[in-house]
Structure 1
Amino acid sequence: MRWAAGAECRTLTTWAPVVAVAVLSQAGIGLESDWSGSDASLALTSALLAGPLLLRAARPVLTAALIGAALVVQVQLGGSLHFASFIAVLVASFATGRHAGGQRMTAGVLLLLVGVVLAVRDSLPESVEELVFPLFYVSAAAALGSVVRRQARQAAELHGLNEALVRERDAIDRLVVATERLRLARELHDVVAHTLTVAVVQAEACEAALDADLERAREAARQVQAAGRRGLADLRSLVRVLRDTDATTDEPGLDDLDTLAGVMASAGLEVTVERAGTFRGLSPELERELYRIVQEGLTNVVKHSSAAWVRILVRAHDSRVQLEIVDPGPAVESPVPSGGHGLAGMAERLAPFGGQVTAGPTSDGYRVHVSVPVHQEAPA
């Protein structure tokens, strides 16, 4: 609808001056003196004045030349100019400023003035001042067209900039959504993987102890229940944030590592947490990511190692925090399917903070090492 309206408007503005000049010329309105030519010559001059105006947008200089020539022909055939001649010169002058620039505009104005001078040359010896008025209105119309051309160009540039801003805003929105989806994927991975891994290990212990040690089997079943409750609580917290953007979650930090160690101890994995240095300048966001990395590392130990203990070392020095997760191994085939995103998720967590993660087997086990700078603002 908008395109159709624009097309109709362009058609109207293109043809309106043409029709007006043709009708006014044929009617002979505003003749400076009696028309000395025939009706056919009047119709011819009307066509010569109106026709070139159809080309004014595509060929403004040519239009100016044709209008100037039409003025001379009109005087030769009928001995007089009229109001339609004045309108045609104004429209052609405006078109040179609107659709031509620089030297082309100057050339179009000069061609029109030459046509006017040749058309009124017989009266110049007695009234040279008659040239002042044509010079004024031709120049003024061309200047007005030039102003409109500059404004149209600026409007087009602003429109282009606005479209670029809209595209950039859409790209930023998509990036924000993708970043948030990635963060939620990491959170869900850590919460679900940790909970299910502990639950599977305890369920296996329960099954193994059913015949030999009923009390141990009951304790293992209770640990499965506890793991499930913790997992549900974490999932509810995440869902609450998704449903309510103003809601907040209880962000875990480095102080919660001892609690996490206790949870893993209930799963049969002895975890030792060692701290060294003074922890200052750590944002809550960075502490949360370090906690999740430890959680993921311990989950991987349970899934991929038969180690009975794990050592976690967190130390701060030289404006950096370093974190190590070391287990003695040996590696075993995991009974729990792995998505293969654990180490990649660790690196993604620390990337906004400028941190690095290295991981690999040692002589008798496996080691995850994290290094991240501190005393910086949390990433947006």
Structure 2
Amino acid sequence: MEEQRDSGRAGRLAGRMGLSRPMRLTRPMRLTTSVRLARARWAGRLPGPGASRAWGPPPWVTREADSRRLPWLSTLGLAAFVMLGSAFAARGQAGDRAGLDAFARVLLLAGPAMLLLRHRHPVAVAFGTAATATVYLGAGYPYGPVFVTVAVGSYAAVVAGRRRAAWAALGMFWVGYLLVGHWLFRWLPPAGDDAAPWGSELGLAAWSVAVVAASELVRVRREQWVRARAEQEAAERRRADEERLRIARELHDVLAHSISVINVQAGVGLALLDSDPEQARTALTTIKAASKEALGEVRQVLDTLRAPGAAPRAPAPGLARLPELVEQAAGAGLAVEVTEEGRAPALPPGTDLAAFRIVQEALTNVVRHSGSRTARVLIGYGPGRLRLRIDDEGPATGGEAGGSGNGLIGMRERAAALGGTIDAGPRPDGGFRVLATLPVTSEETP
């Protein structure tokens, strides 16, 4: 039956992938793929079910292509624009400038050809396009879209962070244009050409400044987006780490307490199985109740993993469930005395859950690591704070009685997350004490 189900899944998968022959999936392959997909979703690389795609930067902010690829599409469009635009410009400037010959067309195509490498070698492309345009204008060819290649080359250099190179390339182009228009025009084609008006140099200078300014604006905007994206990813990783820590604490608190009770009762049941069957039955009943409650709480924690953001099916534990905790401890042979001081306020859910888990972990440590069969719990309600004190008379029964395991670490993390403190250690007169102080803001207290 299992092989038939596997074959059916493989056939459906082959149909979706367009394969003519079903692909047989073995159990390790399916498990590995599932684990990889789960890890990718957890890391944020793949969207979960029903999730929308992540937002991205505006297209004019990012590069046109990855640095490992050549921007063929945009470069071909730019080359076509330069060639057609220059042809129209040549018609409008016929008689004033030289006509477009083979050398002119080579120069017009050389600029866009170099722009193919603008992401890999922005500095060389900036100087190359400026030099090509200077030679083109020095040869007396018509003014036109040749300026666009210089602008795109300088833009790519600025966006890549090579601002000085972009400024130098534009400056070289402007100086070359100035020399050709006011000094070298006597020896360069077309014959009988006059000096260029000074207004054109000022216009070219203003155009160069505008190109660099626009490029700087795009570069700054792109850096801001990259920084915001990095901060967003860091925040997502931080939230994922916090969620993993929260789930680990919940699972530790639930399982440590319930398994401790189960372990003690299992020992009692085994010891009394022959001599006192009725008492052994009571121990098994306690084991069943503790395991059922633990499974329910573990299932509630795991439901938050399967459906992030969904409302929990059961309310979070709080101090209102302290009698159940005392009853479970009694089933493990631990008598718990609970005392309250002050008037109980309406605690916020986070504080209420943390208080319950701290008491639960402290009682679990008494069951596991103390020879005492009694424990005292003091809950003190004061202005702006909640005070918890759990004492046992000891003595410690193992090397871990000092509280160096994950239980006390989890308690301290819960208290620290709320701005509270945990003080745990041996008492001067023997035994062990856990003292927790959790803040309660004034607007949350009646």
What secondary structure sits across from 2:380 in the alignment? strand
Distance 1:319 1:226 in 2: 37
Shift of 1:32: 3.9
Largest Rg, 1 or 2? 1
Matched-pair contact (CA < 8 Å) for 1:271–1:309: yes
The residue correspondences of 1:151-190 to structure 2 (distance < 5 A) are: 151-190=214-253
Instruction: Report whether the alignment pairs 1:292 with 2:357.
Output: yes
Normalising by structure 2, we get a TM-score of 0.64
Distance 2:149 2:304 in 1: 66
Instruction: Report whether the alignment pairs 1:246 with 2:295.
Output: no
Shift of 1:102: 7.7
Distance 2:152 2:219 in 1: 19
Shift of 1:219: 1.5
Distance 1:96 1:221 in 2: 80
Choose which of 376, 379, 388 in structure 2 pairs with 1:323: 388
Instruction: Report whether the alignment pairs 1:272 with 2:349.
Output: no
Matched-pair contact (CA < 8 Å) for 1:254–1:291: yes
Aligned length: 349
Shift of 1:164: 2.1
Distance verdict in 2 for CA 1:238–1:33, change over 3 Å: closer
**What does residue 341 of structure 1 align with?**
406
Choose which of 306, 316, 320 in structure 1 pairs with 2:371: 306
Distance verdict in 2 for CA 1:160–1:377, change over 3 Å: farther
Shift of 1:326: 0.4
Matched-pair contact (CA < 8 Å) for 1:109–1:139: no
Matched-pair contact (CA < 8 Å) for 2:133–2:147: no
Choose which of 208, 211, 215 in structure 2 pairs with 1:148: 211
Distance 1:175 1:33 in 2: 65
What secondary structure sits across from 2:311 in the alignment? coil
Distance 2:406 2:282 in 1: 31
Distance 1:5 1:351 in 2: 52
User: What do you get for the CA RMSD once the two structures are aligned?
Assistant: 4.4
Choose which of 199, 205, 221 in structure 1 pairs with 2:262: 199
Shift of 1:233: 2.1
**What does residue 322 of structure 2 align with?**
257
What secondary structure sits across from 1:57 in the alignment? helix
Where structure 1 has 5 or more consecutive residues not aligned to the other structure, the ranges are: 36-41, 72-80, 122-128
Shift of 1:188: 1.0
Distance 1:247 1:149 in 2: 53
Shift of 1:136: 3.6
Distance 2:79 2:131 in 1: 16
Instruction: Report whether the alignment pairs 1:369 with 2:369.
Output: no
What secondary structure sits across from 2:127 in the alignment? coil
Matched-pair contact (CA < 8 Å) for 2:372–2:395: yes
Distance 2:102 2:250 in 1: 83
Distance 2:322 2:149 in 1: 83
Instruction: Report whether the alignment pairs 1:228 with 2:291.
Output: yes
One-letter amino acid of the structure 1 residue matched with residue 335 of structure 2: E
One-letter amino acid of the structure 2 residue matched with residue 375 of structure 1: T
What secondary structure sits across from 1:220 in the alignment? helix
Distance verdict in 2 for CA 1:112–1:51, change over 3 Å: farther
Normalising by structure 1, we get a TM-score of 0.74
Matched-pair contact (CA < 8 Å) for 1:96–1:108: no
Distance 2:284 2:146 in 1: 98
Distance 1:301 1:96 in 2: 73
Identity of aligned residues (%): 30
**What does residue 9 of structure 2 align with?**
none
Distance verdict in 2 for CA 1:104–1:227, change over 3 Å: closer
**What does residue 94 of structure 2 align with?**
30
Deviations 1:321-366 (A, max 9, x none): 211110001111399xx99210011011112211111211123211
Deviations 1:208-244 (A, max 9, x none): 2233333222212211122122222222322333333
One-letter amino acid of the structure 2 residue matched with residue 176 of structure 1: R
What secondary structure sits across from 2:95 in the alignment? coil
What secondary structure sits across from 1:31 in the alignment? coil
Distance verdict in 2 for CA 1:90–1:198, change over 3 Å: closer
Distance 1:371 1:34 in 2: 89
Distance 2:146 2:317 in 1: 80
Distance 2:185 2:230 in 1: 57
Higher relative contact order (CA 8 A, sep 6+): 1
Distance verdict in 2 for CA 1:60–1:136, change over 3 Å: farther
Matched-pair contact (CA < 8 Å) for 1:93–1:138: no
The residue correspondences of 1:9-158 to structure 2 (distance < 5 A) are: 9-10=74-75, 30-32=94-96, 57-58=126-127, 70=138, 84-87=141-144, 109=174, 112-118=177-183, 132=197, 135-158=198-221
One-letter amino acid of the structure 1 residue matched with residue 407 of structure 2: G
Matched-pair contact (CA < 8 Å) for 2:384–2:442: no
What secondary structure sits across from 1:250 in the alignment? coil
Shift of 1:142: 3.6
Shift of 1:194: 1.1
Where structure 2 has 5 or more consecutive residues not aligned to the other structure, the ranges are: 1-63, 115-123, 158-164, 187-193
Matched-pair contact (CA < 8 Å) for 1:19–1:50: no
Bigger helix share:
1
